[in-house]
Amino acid sequence: MRARIAHIASNTFREAVRDRVLYNLIAFVLLLSGAAILVGQISIEIEKLVVINLGLTAVSLFGVVIAIFIGIGLVSKEIEKRTLYTVLSRPVQRWEFIIGKFFGLAGTLVVNAFFMAIGVFGALFYVSHKFVRADALILVALYFIVLEFLIICSLSLLFSSFSSPLLSAVFAFSLFVIGSFAEDLRNFAGMAHGLSRWLAMGAAYLVPNFSAFNVISSIAHEQPVAGQLVLHNTLYALFYAAMALSGAVLIFERRDLK
Amino acid sequence: MKHRTKISLIAGACLVLSLAASSLVLHRTDLLRPQATLDEVLFLNSPKLIKRASLGYDGLMACIYWTRAVQYFGSQYHHNTPNYNLLAPLLEITTHLDPHLTVAYDFGSSFLASRQYGAGEPERAIALMNYGIQNNPDDWRLYYDLGFIYYMELTDYKGAADAFDRGSRVPNAHPFVKILAAQMAQHAGEYQTARMLWSATYQTTKDKQIKENALEHLRALRVDEDVTHLQEAVTHFGERTGRLPASMTELIGSMGLPKVPVDPDGHPYKLTPEGRIEVRQPDDFSFATQGLPPGYKPIPKFHSQP
């Protein structure tokens, strides 16, 4: 079982690399090095802040875009090209296919984020000429970004398991935007009464909450992140991704592929 | 040459030529519509809306808005435009997006407050500083900046003393702040206090531009103080003799000084036939308020050596 999942994951990773997904790293390097040089000339005292904010925002946004646009095609593309039938005709379970795809995409994003992190630290060294202890906090922000990717990968797969790529992209991107407003949604629910309160509260807990993952701004100001938050975010991302993947497996298991 | 290579070369040449032509046309169009792309527009002016629209990436947005504020201030100042309408909203958006971006309070308040070189809105600068203190209560520099505005722009000793006093109680505050609080409470001599403020700024900042700015103010303060003393001596001379001194030598002789006083650059001050004391190179003292020729408009420039 593990070997089959690993094979599907490694093939997904290779396919993403063949699709030139990692080319985004070139754009990232250009963006970061350009910003590091330019901001020093056109602004005041925020070179380091910009490198951290821009670097981590780019890691997050590039990853989200890749997760959505690769994730939405993971199942539908296999059906369209009819390669899925070849895979499923072998002793591979449908759920193994979904989980393997998930790990493959997550692996691609982790590798991508790893190289981008090297870029962020490189740019940081360029503007500061040294590293300080607080710079290690960037690793926490990167970890949270990776957790965010896990949720988005699982959601993209969920939508990909039953919908067309275009609609899946719309759904996944909408959930990403709504997830950024999840705390507002919970505040609105708190203000409502009766049934609408419960419905709003239910919606607030159902959509992913990305606001707790975004610590970029506070880390740019060298503010420490509580260990509790690291633990809670890890558990939340794992549970949420598991929930979305379970949904994807449930749908895909019952889907008529004829 | 292969057919495919030939096509590639032609396509490549077309690409370069089209790019050059479109850039040229765009450049010409910009000349026809001067400032069309640089209009003062703040499409979204609600800090809360912008914070929401940033999808959580508010740190980066704050950096962008701060850069925009710096560019806006620099552009208005450079073009000698007396209108700084967008400065306060830009700073409010910046600090709302990132309340811990202390550089925006630090510089932003001086851009806003200065009547001579900025927007001349000290009340809004004070509101900005109070917002900064509310969000960063442990940063003594913000109290210092607030006291600075009260003293320099409003000559409000009570407000300045209160700000310095609160700042002096912050852990790790610079010892200067306590002295300044006491000095404000006593309504100390203006030049002495101003010198202390700018010296504190010079010594405590790590920023090269702030250091240069403080240094320039210290040089200008020395000029102001020297010219004030010399001008008082001219008045006394007139009261005593019923005429103006014929030369600087006659004036310093009456003051009992061994030689003609010199400005921070070593140039002797001059006495005009109308009895005014002036510096020889007014362009070298951009922040001086005394000793300048009538109607002279200073051009700020900075010196990196004390």
Q: Residue ranges per domain, chain A?
A: 2-254
Answer whether B103 touches A (CB < 8 Å).
yes
Residue B190's pLDDT is 65
* Two tokens, residue B260: 């003609």
> Would you say residue B288 has pLDDT above 90?
no
Burial A84-117 (b: 16+ CB within 10 A, else e): beebeeeebebbbbbbbbbbbbbbbbbbbbeebb
Residue B56's pLDDT is 83
Answer whether B81 touches A (CB < 8 Å).
no
Output phi, psi for B278, to 5 deg. Answer: -135, 155
Question: Mean of the pLDDT values across residues B161-185?
Answer: 83
Compare all CA atoms of chain A with the CA of B54 and give the residue at the minimum distance.
A180
pLDDT > 90 fraction of chain A, expressed in percent and rounded: 22
Residue B302's pLDDT is 45
> Would you say residue A26 has pLDDT above 90?
no
* Two tokens, residue B95: 């600090």
CA distance A109 to A151: 12
- How do the domains of chain B map onto residue ranges? 47-212, 216-284
Rounded to whole angstroms, what are the CA distances from A217 to A144, A211, B38, B59, B214?
13, 12, 29, 5, 30
> Would you say residue A64 has pLDDT above 80?
yes
Question: Mean of the pLDDT values across residues B214-238?
Answer: 88
Question: Mean of the pLDDT values across residues A194-219?
Answer: 85
Shortest alpha-carbon distance between residue A43 and chain B (Å): 5
CA distance B198 to B30: 43
User: What CATH number matches the domain at B47-212, 3.40.190.10, 3.40.50.720, 1.25.40.10, 3.20.20.100?
Assistant: 1.25.40.10
* Two tokens, residue A63: 């990853």
Tens digits of residue pLDDT in A145-172: 999 999 999 999 899 888 888 898 999 9
Rounded to whole angstroms, what are the CA distances from A243 to A130, A153, A192, A234, B164?
43, 12, 27, 14, 56
Which residues 6+ apart lie within 8 Å of A175 measured at CB? Answer: A155, A207, A208
**Best of B60, B75, B210 to mutate (most A CBs within 10 Å, chain A):** B60
Sign for the pseudo-dihedral over CA of A6, A10, A16, A22? positive
Which residue type, as a one-letter code, is found at position B170? V
Question: Mean of the pLDDT values across residues A207-218?
Answer: 87
Q: Which residues of A touch B60 (CB under 8 A)?
A: 50, 53-54, 57, 216
CA distance A212 to A230: 10
Residues in chain A: 258
Shortest alpha-carbon distance between residue A160 and chain B (Å): 24
Shortest alpha-carbon distance between residue B169 and chain A (Å): 22
Residue B297's pLDDT is 67
Q: Three-state SS across chain A?
A: CHHHHHHHHHHHHHHHHHCCHHHHHHHHHHHHHHHHHHHHHHCCCCHHHHHHHHHHHHHHHHHHHHHHHHHCCCCHHHHHCCHHHHHHHCCCCHHHHHHHHHHHHHHHHHHHHHHHHHHHHHHHHHHHCCCCHHHHHHHHHHHHHHHHHHHHHHHHHHHHCCCCHHHHHHHHHHHHHHHHCHHHHHHHHHHCCHHHHHHHHHHHHHCCCCHHHCCHHHHHCCCCCCHHHHHHHHHHHHHHHHHHHHHHHHHHHHCCCC
Question: Mean of the pLDDT values across residues A205-216?
Answer: 87
Supply the DSSP symbol for B153. T
Per-residue pLDDT band for B274 (boundaries 50, 70, 90) equals confident
β-pair partners for B270: B278
Q: For residues B34 and B3, which has the higher predicted lDDT (pLDDT)?
A: B3
Question: Which residue's entry shows tokens 């450079």?
Answer: B78
> Would you say residue A75 has pLDDT above 90?
no
Per-residue pLDDT band for B298 (boundaries 50, 70, 90) equals low
Per-residue pLDDT band for B41 (boundaries 50, 70, 90) equals low
Which residues 6+ apart lie within 8 Å of B269 measured at CB? Answer: B226, B227, B230, B248, B260, B261, B262, B263, B277, B278, B279, B280, B291
Contact A216 B57 (CB under 8 A): yes
* Two tokens, residue A110: 């982790």
Shortest alpha-carbon distance between residue B208 and chain A (Å): 10
Question: Mean of the pLDDT values across residues A68-73?
Answer: 86
**Best of B48, B49, B57 to mutate (most A CBs within 10 Å, chain A):** B57
Contact A39 B67 (CB under 8 A): yes
Residue B187's pLDDT is 60
Q: Indicate the SS3 state at residue B112.
A: helix
Answer whether B49 touches A (CB < 8 Å).
no
